[in-house]
Amino acid sequence: MKPLRKIRLGIVGCGIAARELHLPALKNLSHLFEITAVTSRTRSHAEEFAKMVGNPAVFDSYEELLESGLVDAVDLTLPVELNLPFIEKALRKGVHVICEKPISTDVETGKKVVELSEKSEKTVYIAENFRHVPAFWKAKELVESGAIGDPVFMNWQIWVGMDENNKYVHTDWRKKPKHVGGFLSDGGVHHAAAMRLILGEIEWISAVAKDLSPLLGGMDFLSSIFEFENGTVGNYTISYSLKGNERFEITGTKGKISISWDKIVLNEEEMKVPQENSYQKEFEDFYQVVAEGKPNDLGSPVQALKDLAFIEACVRSAGNKVFVSSLL
Rounded Cα distance, 180 and 122, in Å: 28
- What pLDDT does 75 receive? 98
Assess if residue 321 is contained within a domain. Answer: no
Model confidence pLDDT, tens digit, residues 257-300: 999 999 999 999 999 999 999 999 999 999 999 999 999 999 99
Q: What is the pTM of this model?
A: 0.94
| Catalytic positions, written as ranges | 101
Rounded Cα distance, 191 and 305, in Å: 13
Lowest mean pLDDT among 89-103, 162-176, 269-283: 162-176
- Residue 143 corresponds to which amino acid? V
Model confidence pLDDT, tens digit, residues 105-152: 999 999 999 999 999 999 999 999 999 999 999 999 999 999 999 999
CATH code, domain with 211: 3.30.360.10
- What pLDDT does 3 receive? 56
Residue 77: which domain range? 7-130+280-294
**Is pLDDT of 224 > 90?**
yes
- For residues 197 and 83, state if they share a domain: no
**Is pLDDT of 247 > 90?**
yes
Angle between helices 134-144 and 183-199 (to 10 degrees): 40
- For residues 108 and 166, state if they share a domain: no
DSSP string for residues in 90-140: HHHTT-EEEEESSSSSSHHHHHHHHHHHHH-SS-EEEE-GGGG-HHHHHHH
- For residues 203 and 218, state if they share a domain: yes
Assess if residue 112 is contained within a domain. Answer: yes
- For residues 199 and 119, state if they share a domain: no
DSSP string for residues in 256-302: EEEE-SSEEEETTEEEE-----HHHHHHHHHHHHHHH-----TT-HH
Model confidence pLDDT, tens digit, residues 62-77: 999 999 999 999 999 9
Assess if residue 328 is contained within a domain. Answer: no
Lowest mean pLDDT among 32-36, 73-77, 177-181: 177-181
The count of domains in the chain is 2
**Is pLDDT of 83 > 90?**
yes
- What pLDDT does 1 receive? 44
174 in a labelled binding site: yes
- For residues 110 and 137, state if they share a domain: no
Query: What's the mean pLDDT in 177-206?
Result: 94
- For residues 74 and 91, state if they share a domain: yes
Nearest to 136 by CA among 24, 292, 281: 281
Assess if residue 326 is contained within a domain. Answer: no
Model confidence pLDDT, tens digit, residues 198-214: 999 999 999 999 999 88
Is-contact 307 135, C-beta < 8 A? no
264 in a labelled binding site: no
197 in a labelled binding site: no
Which ranges of the chain would DSSP assign to H, the alpha helix? 16, 23-27, 43-52, 62-67, 83-92, 107-119, 134-144, 172-175, 183-199, 278-292, 301-316
- For residues 149 and 210, state if they share a domain: yes
Beta-strand pair 73-76/7-12: parallel
173 in a labelled binding site: yes
Beta partners for 132? none
- For residues 126 and 157, state if they share a domain: no
Assess if residue 71 is contained within a domain. Answer: yes
122 in a labelled binding site: no
Assess if residue 325 is contained within a domain. Answer: no
